[in-house]
Chains A and B, each alone.
Chain A
Amino acid sequence: MDVFQILLNGIVLGALYACIAIGFSLVWGVLNVINMLHGSFIILGGYLTYFAWHYTGIYPIILLPFVALALFALGYVLQHLFINKVVTAPVLTTLTLTFGLDMILYNLMTVFFTATPRRVTLDLGTLSFGDVYLPIDRLLGMALALVLTALLYLVMRGSRIGRAIVAVRMDRQAAALMGIRVNQVYSITFGIGALMAGAAGAIFAMVFPVTTNLTGVFLGKAFVVCVIGGLGSVPGALVGGLALGLIESVAGYTIGPQNAITVGFLLMLFLLVVRPTGLIGVKGYE
């Protein structure tokens, strides 16, 4: 296979990984909560997109903002009602809580939607440049993933709520002295995390089949991307996502796709030893 094809596959995959990980990274960095629900949020976004498309025929790109907003509302409410009650507890407590919530969501989805893999088929064809092939739906998915990533970056950097989220992350008490209602910012942040997950799921459903069996896989990817790239920043998730995508693509070609995931986890372990803040994480910033 052509080296360009391998790199292209890696970049497309990497952009999707970045989109998967970004909400997870934000929640982990700001709330210090390891959100076990993240994989299920992604699949829920994928299923909502699939069924809305299947029954109404509305083009999935138009559905994406609505699915994302629905997930924002779900995330906000979950944080407001449950996680905020224990958000200052040690990380194991919040991890157990989100794990429990994930069991509920996961099983509800399996009951309502069944675990049948489902995919939005757009039949957009394939672009080819010499020996290099690129299905247009994947190109579209990558573009959407990058646009969403850029949007989140702009919101975090340039908006009032973005400043408040960073302030809460850096110093909760000083943020309170600025008049920021910390628990409300937590709810909004968790909502944004779910929103990004839902949007990632909607994109995934246009590119690959989604099924509830994949929630753990997505959660694992988000975890690896965060550790590789560095926690809590948009550029960190982007770099981590692209790195993992490229590594899996190269490893999949050279030593076989069955080993690609192992290589990703090995890289994560290696980085934990030599550079625990991630590729572009800043010390004290994690």
Chain B
Amino acid sequence: MAKPILEIDGLQAGYGDVQVLWDIGLSVNEGEIACVVGSNGAGKTTLLRTISGLIEPKAGSIVFDGEEIAGARPDEVLTRGIAHVPEGRRLFKGLTVEDNLLLGAYLRRDKSAVRDDMDFVLDLFPILKERRLQDATTMSGGEQQMCAIGRGIMSRPRLLVIDELSLGLAPRLVERLSEALIEINGTGLTILLVEQDVMTAFDVASRAFVIETGRVSMSGETSVLGEDPRVREAYMGI
């Protein structure tokens, strides 16, 4: 029986008077790659921002590794072990690739282990090694996404959540990044991927949750969901 590392139940959240999430319930098992898919404006990014503490939920619970983290500050969520790779990369302009990666490890005090993780990231994405001392925001979109994922890993999380892995990237690069995610997952890190591109998400993830207007409308194994005519019609254009 797979053990859930993240369990969300009855989650409601939004911005001011605008409610975006109405009733989100999902769970992510330890060691798996799960994905959340849905069209633009369904509430995917809001869900991730609520998990990582950027938005306070209105109701519901988020349990991570047995502890309630709904309403916790972002630094507390990160300390518990959830790292969030935001949509659009959001690398820090004016700072080198190395400095950006080090900021991922901002809360850590174990310097030698941080150096090991830096080596791991630079081996995973060798192009970052070449560009180590370059302003991170001057790199190509794919390289920036590698840096953003690397920055997430640098906190040595137990769960890595990634918002829109493929956004604005060429298919060849998306494939390269998908392979990297599978490799990272192989080290034991659980991954929750949020994607608009359902094909890509289903290729990488083993389970999926479909969000429509702030509610989970379908969920299950990606191999099963991928054959579901509703999913195929609505999200894959088949």
What is A's interface to B at a CB cutoff of 8 Å?
A: 160, 163-164, 166-167, 170-171, 173-181, 282, 284-285
Contacts and interface: CB of A to CB of B under 8 A. Distances in A.
A168 to B, nearest CB: 9
A170 B91 CA distance: 9
A34 to B, nearest CB: 22
Contacts of B155: 178-179
Contacts, number: 67
B75 A179 contact: yes
A254 B102 CA distance: 52
Given A163-B103, A179-B74, A179-B75, A174 B94 contact: no
Contact of A163 (B83, B91, B102): B102
B106 A177 contact: no
B94 A164 contact: no
A171 B100 CA distance: 12
A166 B92 contact: yes
Contact of B84 (A171, A175, A177): A177
Given A166-B92, A166-B94, A285-B94, A180 B106 contact: yes
A53 to B, nearest CB: 40
B43 interface: no
28 contacts: A160-B106, A163-B99, A163-B106, A164-B103, A164-B106, A166-B94, A166-B95, A167-B92, A167-B95, A167-B103, A170-B95, A171-B90, A171-B92, A173-B86, A174-B86, A175-B92, A176-B54, A176-B75, A177-B52, A177-B74, A177-B86, A178-B103, A178-B106, A178-B155, A179-B107, A180-B106, A181-B73, A284-B93
Contacts of A163: 95, 99, 102-103, 106
Interface size class of B (residues with CB under 8 A): 20 to 34
Interface in B40-57: 52-54
Contacts of A167: 92, 95, 103
A174 B92 contact: yes
B73, B75, B78, B103, most chain A CB atoms within 10 A: B103
Q: Provide the main secondary structure of the chain B interface.
A: loop
Contacts of A285: 93-94
B217 interface: no
B19 interface: no
Interface in B62-90: 73-75, 78-79, 83-84, 86, 90
B104 interface: yes
Given A166-B99, A179-B75, A181-B73, 8 more contacts: A166-B94, A167-B95, A170-B92, A173-B86, A175-B92, A177-B86, A177-B90, A178-B103
A179 B93 contact: no
Nearest to A162: B99
A160 B74 CA distance: 18
A160 B104 CA distance: 11
Interface of B: 52-54, 73-75, 78-79, 83-84, 86, 90-95, 99, 102-104, 106-107, 151, 155
B132 to A, nearest CB: 15
Nearest to A285: B94
Contacts of B83: 177
B163 to A, nearest CB: 10
A178 B78 CA distance: 8
A170 B94 contact: yes
Q: Which of A166, A170, A177, A179 has the most CB of B within 10 A?
A: A177
Among B52, B53, B74, B78, max chain A CB count under 10 A is at: B74
Nearest to B75: A179
B106 A174 contact: no
Nearest to A233: B94
A166 B91 CA distance: 12
Nearest to B109: A160
A282 B94 CA distance: 10
Contacts of B104: 178
Contacts of A179: 74-75, 78-79, 106-107, 155
Contact of A176 (B74, B79, B99, B102): B74
B16 to A, nearest CB: 14
